[in-house]
Every structure is written in C-alpha cells, then in structure tokens.
Amino acid sequence: MTGAPTLQRRGLGDDMASARVLLTQRIAEARDVIDVVLANPPAVPCALPELAPPAASVVREESLAEYAEFLLRTRLDPFKSAVFNGADSVRLAVSGKRLKKVSRRLHEALEEFTARSEPVAGLAADLAADYPGHTDVTYAQAAAALLVLGEWDRTHRAPTPAMKRNVLGSIARDGKLRLALFVCPPVDFSRLSGDKPELYIRDHMHGSVLSRLTDRLHTLFRGLEGARVGVELRTFVGDTDEDDYLWHGVTPPAHLDRQALDARREQLVGAVARYLSEEIPGSEGHHPRVLRAEAVRVERLSAVVPSAAAEGIRAAVSETPLDFFDAQDIEAEMALMRSLWQPGSYYDGLAEPDDETLRRIVVHKFAAYAMQGAVLRDAEPDLVLVQTERPPLLRTRMLAAGWHTTAESAECTESSLPTVDFFEPTEDRW
C-alpha cells in the first residue's frame, strides 16, 4: 500500500521568497495604475507627482520595501486624497474603488514582506554589534543564511561564534556562503572477488547513501535561495576509506588494478556532480535534485594531497587515540561498524574481522577523519559543514580533532568546526 506523499514544511526562506514575489507583483500592479493616472491628467488642474524610477532598479530587500512605501506615500495616498475630497474631489483616469483596492493590496503585501524580513533584520543588527567591520548587505545576507541553516539543523543549537564568524567571513569575501558535504561512494564489495575488483566502486549514485538524503538537502538549498543567499557547495567524495582504514584489517585483492580504480574514482566525481544538479520533476515544476550545477564543486579525497599538519594529526591519532577520544567512542564505533557486516548492509561481501582487527580498523578510521578535518580547514577555513553522517555528534568530533590542529585561532573549542546536522543527535544508526 502506498502512502500519501509527505508534504515538505515551508521554511523561512520559502516564506521570504513568497512574500518577495507577492510584493513585487503588487508594486507592478500599483505602477500600472500610476502610469494610467499620470498619462491622463484630470481636466481640473491638480498637482500630481512625477513617476518614480522603474521597479527593475530595485535590488536589495530593504529597497523593495522602501519603494513600496514610497509608492503608497507619494502616489497612491495623494491620488486617493484627490478623489475622495468631498466637494473638491477630482476625477482621475482610474476609479476611486480601483485606487483603494490597489493601495490596500500593496499595503498588505508590504506588511507581509516586512513581517517575514524582521527576524533577518534583528539578527543582522546583532551581528553588526558583535562583529563590526562589515557592510549592511553582508550582515543581512549572513543573518538570512544563519536563520535558514539553524531552521534546517536537526540539533536545534544556536549558532556558535565560530559559525557566525565563518558565515560572515565567507559572505564578506564575495557574497557566497561556503558549505561542505562529504559523500560516501556507492560500493558493491562482492565485486572484489571478481575478475575486475575495481568495479566494487559503482559509477552511478542511484540507490546510494546520497540518494536517501537528497530530498531534505534540497530543502536547505531551496531555503537559502529563497532568502537570496549565494551558495558554493564543496562536495568531497570520500573514496579513500578502504586505503585509510579498511585495508588495515581486511586484505584487498592482490589483482586490484590501482590505475583502473583511480580512473573509476574520477568517473564518480562527474557522476556525483550530475546527480546533485540533475533537473527532476517536483510539485512546482522541475528543479535541481539538490542545487544548481554552477554552485557545485565536486572533488575526490583520493586526489587531495594532505598537508604536513593533516598527516601529523593522522599519525598522532593512530598512535595514541585515547589522547583525542574517549574509550566509549571507540567501542561505540566498533559496534556501529560491526552492524555494517550484516547481510545486505554496507560491507556485505567482505570477510568479517575479529574484534582485535576491527578495533585496529576503527582506530585508523578515527585517524582518517581527523586528517579529513584538517583537509577541510586547509581547503576552506570559512566553511560550514553539512553533516550527513550518523552518529552526527561523534562524526563531528572525529573531524574536529583535525580542524582544531590546523586552526590558527586560539579560540578553538569543541564547537569550532561549524556544522549543521541532517540527523537528530540520537539517530546513531545507518
């Protein structure tokens, strides 16, 4: 039995976009009326104001509201006063009833737009007070970005100082919010026993882990677009898991063709980029599966050369993991990975390791994630990570160990790797 489709909740970005569209429509409607009145002056002499600059020149949010207020104050209200003036009333080319309706509709749209914009204005003022030195536009865009990110984040945390600084710094640079996303490559480990074991990495994303995340990811980017926040998504394909930790406990096939495997990894980069930006049908027409192609930048970890600091943190965690993580973290990850050897699960097709071997794999996994955190910071220090792995808080701590090591700021804390989480903190299973 097929259930009814799940309706996606509208967010702040959607509401801002709808209010903006409505206000723009009402402004155009008002201008049509104003054009008619000014093109057909009344027979009785009457002082009428000149037409305002064209609406197309309105770019900034506050300018749109100011322009609507301007039309009401200097055009429509004076027109109504001239028409409804008792014995001195003037007949205009547009009826008084029409003027009232257009004026009322513009006023209501302006009120709606202002109400939807108030949270952004309030947060922008707070950012300006706490982090001086940026433009009003930067504060407004950063505020909108933070509100959309916070609404989407399943941890329901207030934005940390590190997140505020990163969002402001990124937008101040060129008007873009920089987000990062790790993508698990689609795999079929049963292919490792075949003639071409490199085919264990698949070359398409359908049925992959990512395919189960795209609907909700799209709501994030749709919200940012609705709030008029420019975005760049740096997507890292995590195609080094086997080399980084799995092969430390599971022996790879001797005939694994590394050159063919590398070519397959490169093909996957293009497949991920196309999958994220492919136009698909929706309730309101076609839209990108996640976001527009020009906003997506995909790279594979296997092609990234880690810095000396990144390699240093990997070595340090490998040698003394309990200097960085609790024993409970190691045990929890072992239990999680053990579940991935169940039939039909991620590692189905691989020989299941014993406990000692699995512990070794897990320690190298923690070290690899710490190294990847350093790679993230080296690649883009002003980013926010869209965390789509479970358990989300542990995964962030694993990455943060490396992020902290390469941080220049003395203000590093456990929350200094800015993240928004796809899953609730309690969702700790695949």
- Taking only the tens place, the pLDDT of each residue in 148-188 is 999 999 998 899 999 999 999 999 999 999 999 999 999 99
Q: How would residue 58 be classed by pLDDT, with cut points 50, 70 and 90?
A: very low
pLDDT digits (tens, 9 = 90+) for 122-148: 999 999 999 999 999 999 999 999 999
Domain contains 126: no
301: left (phi over 0), alpha (psi -120 to 50) or beta: alpha
The SS3 assignment for 8 reads coil
Q: Which residue segment(s) compose the domain that 264 sits in?
A: 155-421
Residue 408 has pLDDT above 70, yes or no: no
Domain contains 145: no
Q: How far is CA 222 from the centre of its chain?
A: 8
- Domain-ending residue, one of 67, 94, 118: 118
Domain contains 279: yes
The total domain count for the chain is 2
Residue 406 has pLDDT above 70, yes or no: no
Domain containing residue 176: CATH number:
3.40.50
Q: What's the pLDDT at 9?
A: 62
Q: How far is CA 419 from the centre of its chain?
A: 10
Q: What's the pLDDT at 412?
A: 42
User: Other C-beta atoms within 10 Å of 404: how many?
Assistant: 20
How far is 42 from 316, CA to CA, in rounded Å?
Answer: 84
**190 shares its domain with 323:** yes
**286 shares its domain with 368:** yes
**108 shares its domain with 33:** yes
pLDDT digits (tens, 9 = 90+) for 339-371: 999 988 889 889 999 999 999 999 999 999 999
Give the dihedral sign, CA 217/222/227/233: positive
Q: Return mean pLDDT, the chain.
A: 90
Q: How far is CA 180 from the centre of its chain?
A: 8
Tokens 């590394």 — which residue?
Answer: 258
Classify strands 285-288 and 279-282 as parallel, antiparallel or unpaired.
Answer: antiparallel
**98 shares its domain with 46:** yes
Q: What's the pLDDT at 254?
A: 92
- Domain-ending residue, one of 99, 118, 137: 118
Token pair for residue 5?
């489709």
pLDDT digits (tens, 9 = 90+) for 233-285: 999 999 999 999 999 999 999 999 999 999 999 999 999 999 999 999 988 78
**208 shares its domain with 114:** no
How far is 285 from 21, CA to CA, in rounded Å?
Answer: 17
Q: What's the pLDDT at 8?
A: 53
- Mean pLDDT lowest among 53-57, 59-63, 70-74, 346-350: 53-57
- Domain-ending residue, one of 91, 118, 145: 118
Domain contains 429: no
**255 shares its domain with 383:** yes
Domain contains 426: no
How far is 415 from 159, CA to CA, in rounded Å?
Answer: 10
Domain contains 17: yes
Q: What's the pLDDT at 99?
A: 96
Residue 61 has pLDDT above 80, yes or no: no
Q: Average pLDDT for residues 53-75, to the nearest whole number?
A: 73
Residue 314 has pLDDT above 60, yes or no: yes
Which 3-state string (H, E, C) describes 50-119?
A: CCCCCHHHCCCHHHHHHHHHHHHHHHHHHHHHHHCCHHHCCCCCCCHHHHHHHHHHHHHHHHHHHHHHHH
pLDDT digits (tens, 9 = 90+) for 212-228: 999 999 999 999 999 99
**380 shares its domain with 247:** yes
Classify strands 296-300 and 279-282 as parallel, antiparallel or unpaired.
Answer: unpaired
Residue 45 has pLDDT above 90, yes or no: no
Q: What's the pLDDT at 54?
A: 44
Q: How would residue 2 be classed by pLDDT, with cut points 50, 70 and 90?
A: very low
Residue 76 has pLDDT above 90, yes or no: yes
Q: How would residue 41 be classed by pLDDT, with cut points 50, 70 and 90?
A: confident
Does pTM surpass 0.75? yes
pLDDT above 90 covers what percent of the chain? Answer: 80
**173 shares its domain with 50:** no
**176 shares its domain with 277:** yes
Domain contains 132: no
**162 shares its domain with 33:** no
Domain contains 2: no
Residue 59 has pLDDT above 80, yes or no: no
Q: How would residue 38 be classed by pLDDT, with cut points 50, 70 and 90?
A: confident
Residue 296 has pLDDT above 90, yes or no: yes
Q: Average pLDDT for residues 369-389, to the nearest whole number?
A: 95
**184 shares its domain with 333:** yes
Dihedral over alpha carbons 201, 205, 209, 211 (to 10 degrees): 180
**88 shares its domain with 203:** no
